[in-house]
Structure 1
Amino acid sequence: MSNGMIQIGLVGNPNSGKSSLFNSLTGLNQKVGNFPGVTVDKKTGRCDLGDNLSSTIIDLPGTYSLYPKRGDEWVTYKVLMGQDADVQLDMLILLADASNLKRNLLFVSQIIDLKLPVVVALTMCDMARRKGIEIDIEGLERELGVPVVAVNPRRNKGISQLKKVMAAVARQQYKAPVLDFIPNLDLAAGAVKQVKELVPGISDYKAIHYLINHEHFALPDQLQEDIEQTEKDNQFNPTKTQAEEIMQRYTRIKGIMQQTIAEPDPLRKSLLTEKIDKLLLHRVWGYLILLAVLFLLFQSVFLVAQYPMDAIESAFGSIGSWLGSVLPDTWWSDLVINGLVAGLSGILVFVPQIMILFGLITVLEDTGYMARISFLTDKLMRKVGLNGKSVMPMISAFACAVPAIMSARNIENSKERLLTILVTPLMSCSARLPVFTILIALVVPQELVGGVISLQGLVMMGLYLLGIVMAMMVSWIAKWFIRNREKSFFILELPMYRAPRWNNIFTTMVEKARIFVTDAGKIIMIISLLLWALSSYGPGERMEKVAAEYAALKSSQPERLEELEKEEGAAKLANSYAGILGKAIEPVITPLGYDWKIGIALITSFAAREVFVGTMATLYSVGETDDESGLLLRQKMQQARKADGSKVYSLATGLSLMVFYVLAMQCMSTLAIVKRETRSWKWPVVQFVYMTALAYLMSFLTYQIWS
């Protein structure tokens, strides 16, 4: 025990229900950090076992056996071998998938032979029953020699029984089996005995792992040399020993399964899952169905969210108009209306779309279809230097690039992992959604193609597809410059199809909306208020000159008072600090079809893309007249004109701006996480330069073509 607190490791094969069980045991008492020296998540949580017995649950990365291949598997392996100084386990909860028990029992048998106190949590029992598999849990417990508890963390079943058994194991009421699962000593008798003399107290099986992987352990130099000499003296062959061990384990597992598990006839009729997979993973129909799913996703995001978005927008327009009529004409009322309310409107209006997008992505993950997308696209991905596992981070990046880049850790090949990290930000994240939405509403007609398909939804899907296509092209080019001789392989377990957990989906939608409002909202509000100040004030001489000039015009031309007030507001904005900054960069962005106000939005967007809308809301509110205060932001932007009288937001400008936001790297958080994952500033700099250059070039071409 550590400081009176039991440390319990949660281990198991990937897709065995580990995350669900971790959430059931710990609830909200969770923390996420990193294992020392590696970029692998370390999830820990508190769990009360009753009778004044508390524990810390450590969710270890999933692994199929005690022979690690990936970085995250090495983390789990070193913890289990006692080679992590920060994690010294008192007990293990080992998850085993009842619907695929033969493969899971390999890992179970290896853990048993380490002689660690362990409880086997049997998950997916409902799936096993659907497959016609019946398990004698008491018989399985007897054969393995360790406690076995059936649990269903998705429905919170078996959790109280599991806690009771955990408490009993913690109080040493269960002992590790005396006999090994297989005769490990016979695998390399001489070498094992010598290692056990060098490292007293370890099991025969742990001694074999010292012989195989001692170079990866933090051992004294002399002990390393002694183990190395033991290998030579006994002509220890790690490959032969590992192969023999696995064969013996599966032989014993086969006998246990014959004793305790009743399986249906292997010639039984194909399961529904297999039938569905034949369609969804078909080399032609599979891709068409994937495109249809993405099409429906973006149509839903646009069409369903339109009504609540219009209601929120109208409400804030009414609030701004009402405040303008009741508040005195002072600087602080201008701050409230054109800074605070305008900024708040730019945050809340996009909550419906973000909730719908995250909800639909969660449905895809929950049903098991997301894993099929990886499997389906592996062949295509390999042609551009990636593999099927790259798809998961890339699809996750539709929500946010930061966790998506972190999830690329699961890609074993370092070159493919780096390429995935470099192109993932080209996926259109939810922060781009507010920008796309307002620009599409400005320049794309609200029409139905064929009477059913939204033209605006088609344009939205086109923007997302543009990001995907550009990511493929960039990866294909970059693969020739990044050299690596590592062999690449793609192993992925396809989970069973399941009904989505609606509570989980609703929770995710609310949580993501909350994160957007609190995290992105803070940035948007701060920049909105800062922009209000920069847009309302400027160098004293300039502002005084504008005021004096228009005071003279108003007195000499009283019949043009309303027109002159509009011109004065525009002139003050142009001579404000924000206006001076925008005018300075205008020559660079004019070839893209942008004016100086858009230039300011591009600069502020480098803090966070969604700030674009807040910036526009502030810039088009400052300097407006009373009769304009009730207009919606879209209406203000539609009425915006250049010096020659032409619309600022023409079709060419709108498309150019959308393309820029698809391709540009405008996220400081993403650059920071890339630096953390690659442990170098080289790749964030490369990423920033290539994405900005690509965005400028493609936006320039788009504007020239459409204008």
Structure 2
Amino acid sequence: MSSELKIALVGNPNTGKSTLFNVLTGLNQKIGNFPGVTVDKKLGSCKLSDERTVQVIDLPGTYSLYPKSKDESIVFEVLADRNNSAHPDLVVIVADASNLKRNLLLYTQVADLKIPVIIALNMMDVARKTGTTINVDALASKLGVRIVPIAARQSENVQALKEAISNASRLALQEDTIEVEALAPGLIGKIREELQVDAPYVALQIAHQHENLTFLTAAQSGRVEELEREFSFHSAKSQAAETIARYNYINDVLFDTVETTNDARQEPVSNRIDKVLTHRFWGFIIFFGILFLIFQSIFAWSEYPMGLIEDLFVWLASAVQAVLPEGILADLLVDGVIAGLSGVLVFIPQIAILFAFISVLEDTGYMARVTFMMDKLMRKVGLNGKSVVPMIGGLACAVPSIMSARNIENWKDRMITIMVTPLVSCSARLPVYTLLISLVVPDTRVWGVINMQGLAMMSMYVLSIVSAILVAWVMKGLIRARDRGYFIMELPVYRFPRWSNVGLTMYEKVKAFVFQAGKVIIAVSIVLWVLASYGPPGKIEAAQQKYDTPEYSQKFSPEEIGRMKSSQKLENSYAGVLGHAIEPAIRPLGYDWKIGIALITSFAAREVFVGTMATIYSVDADDSNMDSVRDKMNNARDTETGRPVFSLATSFSLMLFYAFAMQCISTIAIVYRETKSWKWPAIQFGYMTVMAYVAGLIAYQLLK
């Protein structure tokens, strides 16, 4: 076997496939898209026991090779097309040892593709606890494959799996499972002959799926259609006959290799827990209690590390200013790059805490229960339970969440989900909320427990979810479609979270935030610094000349005159001209021209608002002021009234604006790619902008 060995992990949902992927690859993984389709591809590298490095691909979870979604369809595409860049040399079937009968259906299908197979019999610890005993050697003998019993969450026996991969044959040795040729006599042989297909089962699947297979040309697909008519092939009847034949085979295999004790027939512990956690009343109370705990913790636990990061950037700015001579380079680094980055990186602790909680909820199996509970509510507003997955994912980022809506079979449900998911408060809004809440909401506790800032943060997230549901209800009547959606979901058993997996998730999310947001913020900060430092010829100089007259020099100190000049320079710069141009439209919301600049720059990404504020107030300040962005914004005063710029009314108006506004180019791009039309992103941008403006306007006018 060559060192370029490719391993594909295949399995049902909730079998621990992704956990095994993380155990095998650790931090050596990346995410991309399969060529030509918007389906996530998780790739990683793994070092085997013989020191070779192999490529591991985590294919989407599926119950069978008959796809119900775009994600599931990619599994057969990758396994059947030998020219696909992700086509594996070896397939590791990850099977749930506690639910083997259902899992073996997918195994028998993959085995019949005639690709070398190893079975990783996962969750052996769960099987033992539930009284299921598996004779692994006898089962392996009957199937003709190597079976390695493992418990991926505890990394139990993973080394043995690596050894099995090292010693695996490149020939498919597994036994035939069913008589495939009998399912479509004549047709299978003809397809194999004309399309040069090796395995009979590949030919049968081509007969079932040829209209949607990207590796077939239009002529080949048309020819398969002709052959189907010639041999009177009925896809549904063939699939039903195949399923019956496979389960007959599976029953025979499991008859004397798996034993179940009376303990396994008792009601599982997970079911008893679900009677409380998914209760029609108490379930929702518990869910909102968990949300309350999360946002209280975000503020309570993050304040100290955030203060350290703020102090670090203040020190860094002072150090750079002390080392570099005065000039353009020093100003660019201090007022542009460092100020912009400090405004966003300071929120790393909060983002890490948020994703730690989300990871724990997913790892324990609770997030699946939330999806189940929400199904009935979602159906009333025109969605189904599967819509909850993208919407909860929207707490992290709308882009992958919108892509995950591909799992929703019903077109109307999928479109409504795509249209409302960006309303759910994502991690990019977190820095904006945190900054504004810290300015106007006191850091006090009610009854010694409830943190007011955490309560305000939770309110923003609840508002975003409620608004998404209300907009979905409106769109239910506007978008017409006849087909009805359905919701089928298997609830995983409850487990203790795997802390290494939680840590890995935190690392990946923080890394993605720092590098993805960081690149945008540095670029925007540099452009903004240029726009804020230069202006139309002669305009800045003319505006500053009045401060050189005796009238000012006798009345104000040199430091005060310096601040006045900085303010005039900013106001008459290109950025100032741009801000003043839109100020009449945003003044009713309580925003000045400086906030207007931030609204424009943060269209690239919402978190850029904080970086823009940091840059604007750094350019606006004199060189001796090295305060953090929160201090600068807290000290900002309206030049006409002398009142704080970021008052309670303005700050809540801004939070509501960012809660609803489509301030994200990436989201617009992904909506276009998923819908294949500019119509839907245009409608989305339009209705969200109107909602943002109206909500900001009402908040400011009521609170001022």
With the length of structure 2 as denominator, give the TM-score of the two structures. 0.91
Tell me, in whole angstroms, the C-alpha distance in 1 between the residues paired with 2:464 and 2:657.
Answer: 11
Shift of 1:215: 4.7
Tell me, in whole angstroms, the C-alpha distance in 2 between the residues paired with 1:364 and 1:542.
Answer: 57
Shift of 1:606: 0.9
Structural mapping, 1:112-511, within 5 Å? 112-172=111-171, 175-177=173-175, 180-187=176-183, 189=185, 202=198, 205-206=201-202, 208-216=204-212, 235-265=232-262, 268-317=265-314, 332-511=329-508
Q: Secondary structure at the match of 1:300?
A: helix
Q: Which moved more, 1:73-82 or 1:230-239?
A: 230-239
User: Corresponding residue for 2:11?
Assistant: 12
Label 1:299 to 1:6 Cα distance change in 2 as closer, same or farther (>3 A).
same
Contact 2:552 2:561 in 1 (8 A): no
Tell me, in whole angstroms, the C-alpha distance in 2 between the residues paired with 1:428 and 1:8.
Answer: 37
Q: Which moved more, 1:631-640 or 1:124-133?
A: 631-640
Contact 1:397 1:425 in 2 (8 A): yes
Label 1:655 to 1:232 Cα distance change in 2 as closer, same or farther (>3 A).
closer
Tell me, in whole angstroms, the C-alpha distance in 2 between the residues paired with 1:575 and 1:408.
Answer: 47
Contact 2:97 2:122 in 1 (8 A): yes
Q: Which moved more, 1:124-133 or 1:415-424?
A: 415-424
CA deviation map 1:358-382 (0-9, x unaligned): 1111111111111111111111112
Label 1:592 to 1:147 Cα distance change in 2 as closer, same or farther (>3 A).
same
Label 1:544 to 1:363 Cα distance change in 2 as closer, same or farther (>3 A).
same
Label 1:542 to 1:236 Cα distance change in 2 as closer, same or farther (>3 A).
closer
Tell me, in whole angstroms, the C-alpha distance in 2 between the residues paired with 1:556 and 1:42.
Answer: 65
Tell me, in whole angstroms, the C-alpha distance in 2 between the residues paired with 1:487 and 1:337.
Answer: 57
1:404 corresponds to which letter in structure 2? Answer: S
Tell me, in whole angstroms, the C-alpha distance in 2 between the residues paired with 1:261 and 1:595.
Answer: 72
Shift of 1:499: 1.4
Label 1:366 to 1:654 Cα distance change in 2 as closer, same or farther (>3 A).
same
Contact 2:544 2:568 in 1 (8 A): no
Match of 1:621 among 618, 621, 641: 618
Label 1:91 to 1:617 Cα distance change in 2 as closer, same or farther (>3 A).
closer
Tell me, in whole angstroms, the C-alpha distance in 1 between the residues paired with 2:196 and 2:436.
Answer: 70
1:159 corresponds to which letter in structure 2? Answer: V
Label 1:110 to 1:597 Cα distance change in 2 as closer, same or farther (>3 A).
same
1:294 corresponds to which letter in structure 2? Answer: L
Match of 2:606 among 604, 609, 629: 609
Unmatched runs of 5 consecutive residues or more in structure 2: none
Shift of 1:411: 2.0
Find out whether 1:520 has 2:536 as its counterpart: no
Label 1:407 to 1:223 Cα distance change in 2 as closer, same or farther (>3 A).
closer
Tell me, in whole angstroms, the C-alpha distance in 1 between the residues paired with 2:457 and 2:270.
Answer: 32
Shift of 1:648: 1.8
Shift of 1:461: 0.8
Contact 2:91 2:118 in 1 (8 A): yes
Structural mapping, 1:552-701, within 5 Å? 552-554=549-551, 557-558=554-555, 563-625=560-622, 628-630=625-627, 633-701=630-698
2:258 corresponds to which letter in structure 1? Answer: I
Q: Which moved more, 1:621-630 or 1:217-226?
A: 217-226
1:106 corresponds to which letter in structure 2? Answer: L
CA deviation map 1:648-685 (0-9, x unaligned): 22211111011001111111222222222223333222
Shift of 1:398: 1.3
Q: Secondary structure at the match of 1:622?
A: helix
Q: Which moved more, 1:386-395 or 1:95-104?
A: 386-395
Tell me, in whole angstroms, the C-alpha distance in 1 between the residues paired with 2:255 and 2:111.
Answer: 20
Label 1:553 to 1:428 Cα distance change in 2 as closer, same or farther (>3 A).
farther
Shift of 1:529: 3.4
Q: Which moved more, 1:654-663 or 1:14-23?
A: 14-23
Shift of 1:342: 2.4
CA deviation map 1:316-363 (0-9, x unaligned): 446656777887665554444433442342133211111111111111
Structural mapping, 1:86-97, within 5 Å? 86=85, 88-97=87-96
Percentage identity across paired residues of the two chains = 51
Label 1:311 to 1:554 Cα distance change in 2 as closer, same or farther (>3 A).
farther
Contact 2:617 2:632 in 1 (8 A): no
CA deviation map 1:59-78 (0-9, x unaligned): 33222123222222222223
CA deviation map 1:262-289 (0-9, x unaligned): 1122785433211111111111111111
Tell me, in whole angstroms, the C-alpha distance in 1 between the residues paired with 2:216 and 2:555.
Answer: 90
Tell me, in whole angstroms, the C-alpha distance in 2 between the residues paired with 1:511 and 1:221.
Answer: 41
Shift of 1:38: 2.3
Label 1:169 to 1:543 Cα distance change in 2 as closer, same or farther (>3 A).
closer
Shift of 1:160: 3.7
Tell me, in whole angstroms, the C-alpha distance in 2 between the residues paired with 1:408 and 1:504.
Answer: 24
Q: Secondary structure at the match of 1:538?
A: coil
Shift of 1:8: 4.1
Label 1:553 to 1:6 Cα distance change in 2 as closer, same or farther (>3 A).
same
Please give the root-mean-square deviation of Cα atoms over the aligned residues, in Å. 3.2
CA deviation map 1:480-534 (0-9, x unaligned): 3333333311111211211112122223323333333333123223333333333
Aligned length: 703
Q: Secondary structure at the match of 1:101?
A: helix
Q: Secondary structure at the match of 2:61?
A: coil
Unmatched runs of 5 consecutive residues or more in structure 1: none
2:425 corresponds to which letter in structure 1? Answer: S
User: Corresponding residue for 1:551?
Assistant: 548
Q: Secondary structure at the match of 2:350?
A: helix
Contact 1:620 1:637 in 2 (8 A): no
Tell me, in whole angstroms, the C-alpha distance in 1 between the residues paired with 2:623 and 2:168.
Answer: 74
Tell me, in whole angstroms, the C-alpha distance in 2 between the residues paired with 1:510 and 1:207.
Answer: 43
Shift of 1:182: 3.5
2:262 corresponds to which letter in structure 1? Answer: D
Label 1:590 to 1:105 Cα distance change in 2 as closer, same or farther (>3 A).
same
Label 1:328 to 1:79 Cα distance change in 2 as closer, same or farther (>3 A).
closer
Contact 1:413 1:486 in 2 (8 A): yes
Q: Secondary structure at the match of 1:93?
A: strand
Contact 2:121 2:148 in 1 (8 A): yes
Label 1:378 to 1:584 Cα distance change in 2 as closer, same or farther (>3 A).
same
